Amino acid sequence: MNLVIRNISQFFCVLVVLAVSVLPALSAGSDDLRITPVVRAVQNTSAAVVNITVTRIVERGVSPFAQLFRGGDPFDQFFDGGSGMQKRKFRSTSTGSGVIINGSKGLVLTNAHVLAGGSEIKVRMINGEDFEAEIIGSDADFDLAVLKIKGARGLPQVKMGDSSDIYIGETVIAIGNPFGYTHTVTTGVVSALKRTVKSNDGSFTDFIQTDAAINPGNSGGPLLNIMGELIGINTAMQARAEGIGFAIPINRAKRVVRELLASGKVSPVWLGLSGQDLDQSSANYFGLPRVSGLLVSDIYRGMPAEKAGLAPGDVILSMNGIEIEDKDGYVSILRSQTRGSDVVLEVLHRNKKIKIKVRPESLQPQQVKNFTWSKWGIAVEKDSRGRAMLVSDVKPNSPAAKLGLKPGDKIHQIGNRQINSQQDFLDSFLRYRLNGNVLMKIQRGRNYYHVKLNS
């Protein structure tokens, strides 16, 4: 009996010794298990994600009764922006996110809308360091911009990925500064690819859709794959739905960055054709199941469309796999392309559906001026006395002449775009060149008119 008790006692002593020696190893192993690929990706990338604060100077009308009330002037809404009322300048700030793509040069990639109208830009690192930054280049059509951090060298940078082989359903990670909560991490999956998002400025195409939470302040931050590689720039969310966010594919962003670094802007491209919407009768004639596509009406000599074999009477059905609904859709999709990259068109050519590869060409300002003169019949110059473009010449028998435009008229707006510079005017032509009716806001003397240019 004593022998049995002695053996049992020895057995428990052995168990205690084993437990003491094994538990630390198990504890260390549990830590290793907790460091998932998501954790590792965040650890390797967070230092390259920055918080961007943009200060803007805004001017608005002030009620003359403002000092009579504490806690808010009930009459202020009636005077805000009113003509002839007292104006006051205010400092307004907003925040967004960005990611360092070149640590040695201090280059940050973010959204163009994050920086729009900013007079002062500051970048905060994860360690709390603040730096001033300047805009190297920005393009609203792509909603991308590149910043340079002043006085910063040897910074951490993100590892570039490839958005051409993204899988629907793969895990993705978003890092940003939503609502001012710095370096917030959210995860999800790729919900869809090649999404189109419509806004007041037109349609933006070829987005990555994800259910990773992307809230205000996340704009400009990175979308990462499980390897910690940058595959997208978070740019928008569907305000009326939960779990729907969008990111710009990094392969497109790379092309935009190259142009922004080279010239500060992205040269607009075109294929060298004009077209029109289809109606039900023309859709029936071509045997199309629905009214969609762009009917090619003109091909410009020596341009990419002619070189690729396109001809008047062809119907362009899709571009890079994205269906073309109408001419506005065609222009919107083309706006998201850059020079040096091919587009694949699905075309109804001589009653057969074929695919044609075309490389868009950039348009130089003088070329756009020539096309504006030949199609609209307008030449403009900067109005030295205000923010508008001055009509300097009108072509006889042109759409502008038939409308009644005259030298000396001022163009303040084309479509929904304000015209403050020669570039604004040229960009508006590229955006609305296929429209049969173009809405313009014209000033003649002290009077303002909204007119339609029938082109």
- Report how far residue 47's alpha carbon sits from residue 155's, in angstroms, rounded to the nearest whole number: 9
Contacts of 440-445 with C-beta under 8 Å, sequence gap 24+, read 440/411, 440/413, 440/414, 441/411, 441/412, 441/413, 441/414, 442/405, 442/409, 442/410, 442/411, 442/412, 443/388, 443/409, 443/410, 443/412, 444/406, 444/408, 444/409, 444/410
Q: Angle CA(339)–CA(235)–CA(52) in degrees, nearest 5?
A: 105
Is 143 one of the catalytic residues?
yes
Bridge partners of 440, per DSSP, are 414, 451
- Report how far residue 296's alpha carbon sits from residue 275's, in angstroms, rounded to the nearest whole number: 4
- Answer yes or no: are the C-beta atoms of 449 and 372 closer than 8 Å: no
Please provide the DSSP assignment of 345-366 as one string.
Answer: EEEEETTEEEEEEE--EE--HH
Within 242-302, residue ranges assigned H as helices are 250-263, 280-286
In the block, tokens 């029938």 appear at: 454
- Report how far residue 440's alpha carbon sits from residue 78's, in angstroms, rounded to the nearest whole number: 28
Core vs surface per residue 383-421: b (16+ CB within 10 A) or e: beeeebbbbeebbeebbbeebebeeebbbbbbbebebbe
Angle between helices 365-375 and 422-432 (to 10 degrees): 60
- Answer yes or no: are the C-beta atoms of 437 and 420 closer than 8 Å: no
- Report how far residue 222's alpha carbon sits from residue 150's, in angstroms, rounded to the nearest whole number: 21
Is 292 one of the catalytic residues?
no
Is 113 one of the catalytic residues?
yes
Taking CA atoms, 403 is separated from 252, 400, 436, 439, 447, in Å, by 40, 5, 13, 12, 16
Exactly one of 219, 332, 336, 398 is catalytic; which is it?
A: 219
- Answer yes or no: are the C-beta atoms of 438 and 419 closer than 8 Å: no
- Report how far residue 35's alpha carbon sits from residue 397's, in angstroms, rounded to the nearest whole number: 72
3-state secondary structure of 281: helix
Exactly one of 63, 97, 113, 455 is catalytic; which is it?
A: 113
Q: How far is CA 43 from the centre of its chain?
A: 27
Q: Which two tokens stand for residue 326?
A: 């109408």
Exactly one of 63, 94, 141, 143 is catalytic; which is it?
A: 143
| Catalytic positions | 113, 143, 219
